[in-house]
Amino acid sequence: MSPQTLEGQTLGKYRILDALGRGGMAQVFRGYHPQLDRYVALKVLRSDLVEQDEFLARFRREAHAVSGLRHPNIVQVFDFDVQDDQHYMVMELLEGDTLRARLNEYRVRGERMPLSEILRILVEVLGGLGYAHKEGIIHRDIKPANIMLTKRGQAVLTDFGIAQIVGSTQYTVSGALMGTLNYMAPEQGFKGTCDERSDIYSLGIVFYEMLTGYTPFEADTPLAILMKHLNDPLPLPSQVDPSLPRELEHIILKALAKDPQDRYQRAEEMAAAMQQVLDKKISDSPRLIVPPPSGFQSQVVFSGAARQQISDHRFADADTNMDLRPAVQPSMGQVTSVLKRFTPRPISPISAVFVSLILMTVFNLMAAIAGTISQTNVFAYGWTFEIFLVAGLLAFIGWGTQSPWLLVPSIIVFGNGMLLAYSSITGRWDDWSFLWMFVPLIVGVAIYLPNKLNERPREEIPTWGRIGGMALGALAMLMAGLTCSLSIIVSLFR
């Protein structure tokens, strides 16, 4: 029985009336319990998310913990069960809209939610979150779609523990993953570990979106989004709306620190900070939507490792510290940014071929002139410099195409050129009885390095491919010159 055919069917004690919505992990139906005369919400987990081995035991164990939560700002779970391989949970039916739908309503009108409404909603959500954390339950999937706003104006957290029940499958199913990554804490996305502070980070992203109308980190691929959460500094909310109270920006910056130790350690701490702002005179009027400014990522607040890169420590301490503890080592994302800044712009593949052919011609001409002046036969011992020139040609084409894969033939040609240059200049051709064993190693390195580069985020690959092509091309030209020089010296003494 699939979720699409459940309408009109009976699931356990509940008659399925109609579909209410569909998410990344489940489909939600309106259900009715005839004996209790009660309407409920039935959430049926997607069958492809259900792990066969030990899933049912974990489902029941986690479901028991979640169903024990009793708080006005957490949706009440009545029952969990399985029927015909359909794992489902029974929850109270809330009349209202999700926070996602409410934010979209404001967007349609060209407005943003009033500050007073934002703070009231989040203080209530933090109340439920703090209670659940004390009970040992982590939400793991906080986002606007999982916050209900009832017709009575109450904010209620839904889907509590669903990600925990489903377990690691949320990281392998694109539908579940894509809907969550914009709000996921760095440690949760990369290490799969999370605690109370991971929920606080996710709620901080929701807060950021409610204030500005945008989530801070956007990208084309899931991995790129995760890398931005891990490495990219947080764009200042005041860039979008300079009128935002400074106190609210402080709350966001602390909640969204990269290092969990630098965030609010408990939901109650964040709620208290928000309540202090709410107790002041604060506008309850809708705010107009404003487009993100040009260069939205340029003026940013650094925390953790990124803050270590700021040379002006007065600026760092006054405007970006926020009582956060800086890390010691720069991340790979920051290394890539520095490399991008100092790496020359790429040239076109046609230009790379043209320039390389000119260099080869000029180099051969210079070698011939050097041989004439020294009255030696440069090519008798130094013919292998032609191999290095070919390796350089391939490497420079890789620079032009920004492709790390052209490093494969470049490294293979370069490595074999080294072996042949040794034998040619020294005359020890008998050493090939063992030198040939290095050829498979060269091929292995040539395949390994581009594959490692290809594992990096897509936006970083062109940078590393360009750097690799430039470096190998320059090294090949250097080796060609060295081989030519050594061949002249050898010819003079033989």
CB 244 within 8 Å of CB 211: yes
For residues 205 and 218, what is the distance between their CA atoms, to the nearest angstrom? 12
DSSP per-residue string spanning 298-351: TSEE--GGGGGG-S-HHHIIIII-TTPPP-SSPPHHHHHHHHHHHSPPP--HHH
Give the DSSP H or E segment for 18: strand 14-22
Q: Check: CB of residue 399 under 8 Å from CB of residue 473.
A: yes
Separation of alpha carbons 257 and 168, rounded Å = 25
Q: Is the dihedral of CA 104, 109, 115, 116 positive or negative?
A: negative
Instruction: Give the Cα separation of 100 and 103 in Å (integer).
Output: 5
Q: From residue 76, how far is each of 63, 80, 122, 178, 440 by CA, in Å?
A: 12, 12, 19, 27, 63
Q: Which amino acid is at 146?
A: N
CA–CA distance, 458 with 292 (Å, rounded to integer): 24
Task: Give first-to-last CA distance, the chain, whole Å.
Answer: 87
On whether the CB atoms of residues 351 and 359 are closer than 8 A, the answer is no
CA 267/CA 145 separation, integer angstroms: 20
**Cα angle, residue 119 at apex, residues 115 and 121 outer, rounded to 5°:** 115
Q: How far apart are CA 156 and CA 96, in angstroms?
A: 10
Task: Give yes or no for a contact between 125 and 147, defined as CB atoms under 8 angstroms apart.
Answer: yes
CA distance 68 to 86: 22
Catalytic residues: 141
Distance CA 446, CA 421 (A): 19
**Of all residues in the chain, what percent are helix, strand and coil, respectively (each to 5)?**
60, 10, 30
Count of beta carbons in the 10 Å neighbourhood of residue 67: 18
453: enclosing H helix or E strand: helix 438-454
What is the DSSP secondary structure assignment for residue 233, as one 8-state letter?
P
